[in-house]
C-alpha cells in the first residue's frame, strides 16, 4: 500500500503517490474500454460503439466542468453544483443501467484523481466509485413512464446512501456533541444533494428540456 500512498500525519489522511495516480489512470482507461466493449454487445456496428464511448466521455467531461460551478460548498465535503449529477444519470437513461453504472464508476475515479481524499479504503470506495456509479442506476427506469425524472431521483438517492454510510462509519466524530451521528450524516449529505436534486427536477420537467433530451437519446442510439 505504501507504494501507492503516503500518510500525512498533520492532516490525518493518506495522499496519493505518483504510482497511485498511475494506477487510477490505468483503471480509468480500463473502464472506458469496458464501456466500448459493452457497446459491442448491445449495439449493431462499430460506429455505434464509438458513438457510445464518445457520449459517455462527453457526459463525464460535462459533469467535471459543472462540478466546479458551485452554488455552495460544505466545510467537510460536498457541494451544490450546476446539475453535475444529471449528466451521469443521462447516460444511464440513454444506454441503460449497465453502461450508466460503468460510466459513473469511471467518473468517480476521475473525481478521485482530481480531488482525492483518503481516510480509509472503504471510505474511498463509498465516496467515489460506488457513489457515482449509483447515479448510473438511473438506467433502471429508462423504459418506464416518466423514466427520466424517476431514474434521476433513484440515481441520486443511490449516491446519497453511499455518502451517508461513509459519513456514519468514518466521520461520526464530526457530529455536534450530543447529536446522533447517524441523523447528523443524514442531514449533512441531504444539505447539498437535495437542493441540487430539486433544481434539476424542475429543469428536467420543462417541456423544451424533456424534448431536447429525448432528441439526444434518439441520436445517441441511432445507427
Q: Which residues pair with 84 in a beta bridge?
A: none
Provide the whole-model pTM.
0.90
What is 14-221's CATH number? 1.10.1760.20
Domain boundaries, the chain: 14-221
* Residue 210 confidence (pLDDT): 93
Q: Which residues pair with 16 in a beta bridge?
A: 5
Distance of alpha carbon 34 from alpha carbon 133, whole angstroms: 14
* Residue 40 confidence (pLDDT): 63
Contacts of 17 (CB under 8 A, 6+ apart): 3, 4, 5, 6
Distance of alpha carbon 16 from alpha carbon 112, whole angstroms: 10
pLDDT values of the chain reduced to their tens digit, one per residue, 223 residues: 578 888 787 777 788 888 888 988 999 899 888 887 776 666 556 677 888 999 999 999 999 999 999 998 888 888 999 899 999 999 999 999 999 999 999 999 999 999 998 888 899 999 999 999 999 999 999 888 889 999 999 999 999 999 999 999 999 888 998 899 999 999 999 999 999 999 999 999 999 999 999 999 999 988 6
105 burial (CB, 10 Å; 0-12 / 13-18 / 19+) is: buried
* Residue 121 confidence (pLDDT): 87
* Residue 10 confidence (pLDDT): 76
117 burial (CB, 10 Å; 0-12 / 13-18 / 19+) is: middle
Contacts of 103 (CB under 8 A, 6+ apart): 31, 35, 56, 59, 60, 88, 91, 92, 136
Contacts of 102 (CB under 8 A, 6+ apart): 31, 34, 35, 38, 133, 136
C-alpha cell at 48: 455505434
Distance of alpha carbon 90 from alpha carbon 151, whole angstroms: 9
For residue 196, give the nearest of 184, 208, 207, 204 by alpha carbon. 204
Amino acid at each position: 500500500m505504501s507504494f501507492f500512498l503516503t500518510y500525512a500525519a498533520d492532516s490525518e489522511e493518506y495522499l496519493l503517490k505518483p504510482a497511485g495516480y498511475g494506477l487510477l489512470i490505468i483503471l480509468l482507461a480500463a473502464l472506458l474500454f469496458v464501456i466500448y466493449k459493452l457497446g459491442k454487445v448491445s449495439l449493431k456496428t462499430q460506429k455505434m460503439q464509438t458513438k457510445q464511448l464518445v457520449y459517455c466521455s462527453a457526459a463525464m467531461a460535462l459533469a467535471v466542468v459543472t462540478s466546479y460551478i458551485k452554488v455552495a460548498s460544505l466545510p467537510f465535503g460536498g457541494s451544490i453544483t450546476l446539475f453535475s449529477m444529471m449528466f451521469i444519470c443521462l447516460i444511464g437513461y440513454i444506454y441503460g443501467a449497465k453502461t450508466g453504472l460503468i460510466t459513473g464508476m469511471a467518473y468517480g475515479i476521475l473525481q478521485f484523481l482530481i480531488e482525492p481524499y483518503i481516510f480509509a479504503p472503504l471510505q474511498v470506495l463509498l465516496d467515489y466509485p460506488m457513489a457515482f456509479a449509483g447515479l448510473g442506476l438511473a438506467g433502471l427506469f429508462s423504459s418506464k413512464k416518466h423514466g427520466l425524472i424517476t431514474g434521476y431521483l433513484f440515481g441520486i438517492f443511490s449516491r446519497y446512501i453511499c455518502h451517508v454510510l461513509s459519513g456514519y462509519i468514518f466521520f461520526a466524530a464530526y457530529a455536534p456533541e450530543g447529536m446522533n451521528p447517524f441523523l447528523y450524516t443524514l442531514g449533512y449529505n441531504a444539505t447539498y444533494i437535495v437542493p441540487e436534486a430539486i433544481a434539476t427536477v424542475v429543469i428536467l420537467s420543462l417541456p423544451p428540456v424533456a424534448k431536447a433530451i429525448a432528441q439526444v437519446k434518439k441520436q445517441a442510439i441511432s445507427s
